[in-house]
Amino acid sequence: MPELDYFRKINEIFKEKNEGLKYIGAFYENKLIGVMFVLCFKDRIYDWYAGSYKEFYNKYPNDILPWKIFLWSKENNFSIFDFGGAGSPDVEYSVRDYKKKFGGATVNFGRYQLNHKPILMIFAFIGFKLWRFIKY
């Protein structure tokens, strides 16, 4: 996870009301058991970082936190919550199944890649394919 200054800088970038970094915590017996960081911009909220302690999964912080953000976003006139990637539609992926439980549309815009060293990337791609062939 990035340093705390990284998140402070994100807050500085956004100056308008209700935009920028928002965070919410889930607590059990006064102990922080989960946290969710979202980016708010215009009418959208983007799921950015989240985490919780495994020993408290039975308290469902990973379900409560998005729900609280949904409620907050409705009160503050946000219309879209973007959960982020859902993986390849052809590959089983439990995170996608979890995200689908909240409803909404699944979209696939593909992946964006900026390659600063194209020749090195070609060698890496060939090397990775070769490694996978040898390994399996």
Which pLDDT value is given to residue 16? 63
pLDDT of 64 > 80? The answer is yes
Contacts of 87 (CB under 8 A, 6+ apart): 93, 95, 96
Q: Report how far residue 5's alpha carbon sits from residue 3's, in angstroms, rounded to the nearest whole number.
A: 5
Residue 91 per-residue DSSP state: S
Beta bridge partners of 22: 38
Mean pLDDT over 99-126 rounds to 85
Residue 35 lies in a domain: yes
Residue 119 lies in a domain: no
Q: What is the pLDDT of residues 36-57, one digit of tens each?
A: 999 998 899 999 999 999 999 9
Which pLDDT value is given to residue 29? 97
Residue 99 sits in a domain whose CATH number is 3.40.630.30
Q: What is the number of domains present in the chain?
A: 1
Asked if 61 contacts 34 with a C-beta cutoff of 8 angstroms, the reply is: yes
Q: Report how far residue 130's alpha carbon sits from residue 124's, in angstroms, rounded to the nearest whole number.
A: 10
Higher-pLDDT residue of 9 and 31 is 31
Q: Which domain holds residue 56?
A: 4-111
Nearest to 64 by CA among 23, 96, 35: 35
